[in-house]
Structure 1
Amino acid sequence: MTDTRPDDIADTDVYITRAFDAPRPVVWRFFIEPEHLAVWFAPNGITTPAGSIAIDPRVGGRWELIMVDDTSGDQFPMRGTIVELVEPELLVLRLDASTGGSPEAMMLRIQFHDHGERTRITLHQGPFTPDRRHDTETGWLESFVKLDRRLSADRSSTKEN
């Protein structure tokens, strides 16, 4: 769910808060471990092959992946450097300008808020042009639906065992 934008968030930025039915350490792993990120990260019609993901979880480390259009095969790289990391609370990336925002340095900040067996994330990314902002927000929301499904499937299989 997209919340009311705080006053200090620019109109050029994506701002989303979203709750997931999983503890914070579990949700964190889905953002920081390539095999977990690959199962949900990309909007509908696009996949992120696990082999394209490189994450070095430390300040100064890289966070990179390639999204691939399922129909055309077109590739969309996302390259970033981790500038802040507090496990399992905060992930901040400086993204390469070729990632598609604006010529300015783009930042992606994700905070993970502990709510017992649930986790709320706050995502702030930008700046973008208006069209890119809309597309990016839509992509995140579609990706989060996939993440919800995966977390639900993991919970179900854990309960069965």
Structure 2
Amino acid sequence: MTTIPEVPATTDTDVHISRAFDAPRPLVWRFFMEPALLAQWFGPASVTVDPESVVIDPRTDGRWHLDMVDAASGDRFPLRATLTSVIEPEYLEGRIDGEQFGPEGGVTLRIWFHDHGEKTRVTLHQGPFAPEARAATASGWGESFEKIDALLAAGAA
């Protein structure tokens, strides 16, 4: 049996978000693990995700890849993660490549999915970030989660 880690202490280089979604845990999990759903919500309002770029291999040492596309310029921003732990539908962890994120040349993304009555509480912890990347990432996750809310309200999935 795999043990789900505790939420680590948050530092000034981390993003920490806790958010409830009005949907059962297996459905919320699908938004993170099914390419067609992930492409519909990931990223801030100013970007889209190229559905053809999404690759999810949901296992330890698997991939969680996508390309965000800036709506105004068309510039592409690839996100490449190696999954380090996948415990369906409770926990997802990956290491995201990219020197643009933080002082370590990449960041660790951890997401916990908890039953919360009729809802699902998602707890996200990501870091370490350089200060400017931390603020942009927190804002981007907030806008992304608003997209999930809208998709759930519209009956998507």
TM-score normalized with structure 1 length: 0.89
1:60 to 2:61 alignment: yes
User: Partner residue of 1:20?
Assistant: 21
For the 8 Å contact 1:97–1:103, the answer to whether it is kept is: no
Q: 1:135 offset after TM fit, Å?
A: 0.3
Q: How many residues align?
A: 150
Aligned positions of 1:136-155 closer than 5 A = 136-154=137-155
1:51 to 2:83 alignment: no
For the 8 Å contact 1:15–1:123, the answer to whether it is kept is: yes
User: Partner residue of 1:101?
Assistant: 101
Letter of the structure 1 residue corresponding to residue 138 of structure 2: E
Q: 1:7 offset after TM fit, Å?
A: 8.2
SS of the counterpart of 1:39? helix
1:133 to 2:125 alignment: no
C-alpha distance in 2 between matches for 1:7 and 1:88 = 20
Letter of the structure 2 residue corresponding to residue 125 of structure 1: Q
Letter of the structure 2 residue corresponding to residue 85 of structure 1: V
Structure 1 stretches of at least 4 aligned residues deviating more than 2 Å after TM superposition: none
Structure 2 stretches lacking a partner, 5+ long: 1-6
1:9 to 2:10 alignment: yes
SS of the counterpart of 1:38? helix
Letter of the structure 2 residue corresponding to residue 111 of structure 1: W
C-alpha distance in 1 between matches for 2:13 and 2:48 = 26
Letter of the structure 2 residue corresponding to residue 120 of structure 1: R
For the 8 Å contact 2:20–2:116, the answer to whether it is kept is: no
C-alpha distance in 2 between matches for 1:35 and 1:45 = 19
